[in-house]
Amino acid sequence: MTLRIAPSVLSADLGRLREQVDAAVAGGAEWIHVDVMDGRFVPNLTFGAPLIRSLRKITDVPLDVHLMVIEPERYIAEYADAGANVFTFHPEATVHAHRHLQEIRHRGMQAGLALNPSTPLSAVEEIVGNLDLLLVMAVNPGFGGQSYLPASTDKIRRARELLDRRRSPAALEVDGGITQETIRDAWRAGADTFVAGNAVFGAKDPGAAVRALLKQCTEQV
């Protein structure tokens, strides 16, 4: 099974962005995660297309963009043009999720849906076949540095069962509270892609932090 770390630049030092991204990638990070928040869907305001364009100039790895915004469809074309590779949004933030998933793919990006802790898996059951990524939020979205919600492990397990049952090749990503202490449970439950912010960019050596996360999933215990 794929094992992928996607460090979130929400926790990066933007004044040292190239240095920190390069270090994380050298340590084995395969994606870079960008959290986009509008201050409406979640109580925080963060990045937009300019940061994606800046990241695209400094790294060739896929940019995994997670939109926590109202009406995410307004940004599909702009983010594709900026260089995003994965475009994930929340089904509660819009009306016609199926249509938007099709448009995301039409623009050359992978299409993902994100589930908040209180959002049931049933919200995506009818459109699993249109997903390239399913993101399970292990915290309530809006801020970095939160603790992993233990109930997320069972939800990850059920999400894996859903994807396998539908024979979906979609990545199963987990975002929120991923550390060396929590990643193994999420991995064993069936997740394959892990967003880590503070655990990577809050460390003195982001590359070593990525390697430590990977080790938690690969070493036998």
The torsion angles phi and psi of 69, rounded to 5 degrees, stand at -140, 155
Active-site residue flag, 60 = no
Instruction: Tell the residue number behind the tokens 């300019």, with chain if given.
Output: 50
The torsion angles phi and psi of 159, rounded to 5 degrees, stand at -65, -40
In angstroms, the first-to-last Cα distance of the chain is: 18
Q: Which of 35, 64, 132, 192 is catalytic?
A: 35
Active-site residue flag, 175 = yes
Q: Which of 38, 132, 175, 192 is catalytic?
A: 175
Among 76, 80, 191, smallest CA distance to 135 is for 191
Q: What secondary structure letter does DSSP report for 116?
A: -
Distances in Å between the alpha carbon of 93 and those of 90, 125, 159? 5, 17, 20
Quote the crossing angle between the two packed helices 17-26 and 49-58, to the nearest 10°: 60
Q: Among all residues, which ones are annotated catalytic?
A: 35, 175
